[in-house]
Amino acid sequence: MLPFTRINRNIRSLKRYRQVLGVLIKYGFGHVIEELNINYYLELGKRIVTLGAKTQDIERLTQPERLRMAMEELGPTFVKLGQILSTRPDLVPKEYTEEFRKLQDKVPAVDFQQIRQQIEKEFDRPITETFAEIDPEPIAAGSIAQVHRARLHSGEDVVVKVRRPGILKILETDLDILAGLAYLVENHLPTSELYDPSGAVREFRRTVFREVDFTREGLTTDRFANHAKDIKSAYTPSVYWDQTGETVLTLEQVDGIKVTSFEELESQGLDRKKIAENCATILLEQVLVHGLFHCDPHPGNIMVLPEEKICFLDYGMIGRLDDELKQQLAELLVAVLQRDAQRIISLLIYSGDLTEDIDRGALKRDITEFIDDYYDLPLADFNTGRLLTDFVDILNRYRIRFPADLILLAKALVTLEGVARQLDPEFNLVFYLKPQVEHLVRARLSPIWMSRDLVALGRDYGSLFRQLPQDLRELVHRVNHNKFKIDLEHRGLERLITDLDKSTNRISFSMVIAALVIGSSLIMQTDKGPMLFDFPILGLLGYSIAAFLGLGLAVAILRSGRM
């Protein structure tokens, strides 16, 4: 039996663990709990959870709907997880991503007294010394933070984002539970290795803890502001660092018009077509020039300023593309434009992670059909969002894991195209994307870029040849002294060990019952000792104990669902 600490060494609250399991069972995922053998691992002298029946109302819902409702009931960590998974169609099926998009982290606002204490704790001074005025009523309240309007002593109007008190402890506990569940999933569900649950939880932990550190968000906002200096149509709110810390972020209040407030835009004489063009130009500049882009350009995060200037809000979730990823993206798009299916497969092999048993012939056929579906389309009928969605569907079908940032980019482009087409029904992202990609490819082939690549390549090979003699010497030394070891990991045996343990216990139990029956039968033949109704009491007692134990064994077997 694996020790409980192996499942999760950092669980701070067994009560919370039981609550999570109880909610999953409530929404019809008891079979998953059974598959993971959680009751076995959490044996504490009694059954931790009781697998109950779903209510009729819940039974009518689809599995994605039930999982979404379970996440909402479990609170901020699981809501945030669902929101992130909604952007990862490469990890979860389409019906789940669509359902997870409905997740809302709108929760009742924290009492302003707690917000005041959080601000005073952050800056170690009375709130009146930090802000001249602050509105006690929040303009937005989420599971991680809430936002208030305020005014500085220097007179500037600002918005203040304050982290909810106590949210870190909740996140840490829930993330430990998720890590424990991921460990069990990997060891009991063989197909889960395609999705790397533990790796996904580690990435989620990294993402969510970066998001709750408002100092990082402030630095990111400043970086976007610095990049936007070269784009006349872009505007980024200023960060007030004297009023910003790990739990408090103070930004310039931007008075603009929401990008989908069409009547107000037209009343101000703003050109909707130009606004759509500026949105596309800014995002593509972020991606292909700076390699740092806004991951969630939905209407609530886009404000329109005078002269069709665009202001993106909320830089808590961003994506990054290094030079290598940008080049892979450019080559992939060029291969699509050139109808080169073999080149696309080569890029997928290099950039992604293909399973060993993949049918490459079928993959080539599907990619060729994918290209044919879009190649001859008139530009007016071209839909970038549908193209990216279809491409991700192919990745999912063949279990190809692609870099997460490229998947986030696909989601950002789809979202932006949807917003832009509301502004301008004739908008087409390819019109703006194609020249940017061609420019990136030309730049990659320039002498300056190629010489830089050659220098980097020479440096890498130089390091390799300098280190190689030492590595070979170390290898020979280990072999000669019998210190050369190869670590092998047997995966999937824990379930077998568990089942064997259960089977052995049942056999032993059955043998004890059989011994009691045989012993009691022998005693019944002796007619000695205390008697009851002309039968030896010891024989009757033995039969009774054997019947009780046999009934318990039968119930246990029936509850497990395995005869």
With a CB cutoff of 8 Å and minimum separation 6, the contacts of 59 are 28
**What is the C-alpha separation between 244 and 215, in angstroms, rounded?**
7
Strands (E), 22-180: 133-134, 140-141, 145-151, 157-163
Locate the DSSP E strands across 45-168.
Answer: 133-134, 140-141, 145-151, 157-163
Phi, psi of 201 (to 5 degrees): -65, -40
Q: Phi and psi (nearest 5°) for 154? A: -80, -5
Q: Which strand (E) or helix (H) includes residue 531?
A: strand 531-532
In the set 90, 174, 176, 296, the catalytic residue is 296
Instruction: Identify which of 278, 298, 301, 281 has the alpha carbon closest to the alpha carbon of residue 289.
Output: 281
Q: Could you tell me how far CA 200 lies from the centroid of its own chain? A: 6
| Whether the Cβ atoms of residue 153 and residue 139 lie closer than 8 Å to each other | no
In the residue annotation, 296 being an active-site residue is answered as: yes
DSSP 84-99: HHTT-TTTS-HHHHHH
Query: Taking the chain, what is the end-to-end CA distance rounded to the nearest angstrom?
Result: 22
Structure tokens given for 551? 């009934």
Token output for 87: 């952007």
Number of helical (H) and strand (E) elements in the chain, helices listed first: 24, 13
Residues, the chain, total? 563
Residue 104 in tokens: 């809302």
Phi first, then psi, for residue 61 (nearest 5°) are -85, 155
Describe the crossing of helices 429-444 and 404-423 by its angle, rounded to 10 degrees: 140
**Sign of the CA dihedral running 553, 555, 556, 560:** positive
Give the residue among 492, 388, 312 at the shortest CA–CA distance from 87.
Answer: 388
**Cα–Cα dist 73/87, whole Å:** 21
Pick from 540, 543, 287: which is nearest to 413 by CA?
Answer: 287
The rounded Cα 337 to chain-centroid distance in angstroms is 32
The 3-state secondary structure of 468-488 reads HHHHHHHHHHHHHCCCCCCCC
Tokens of 477: 């030394």
Distance, C-alpha 167 to centroid of its chain: 18
Residues labelled as active-site residues: 296
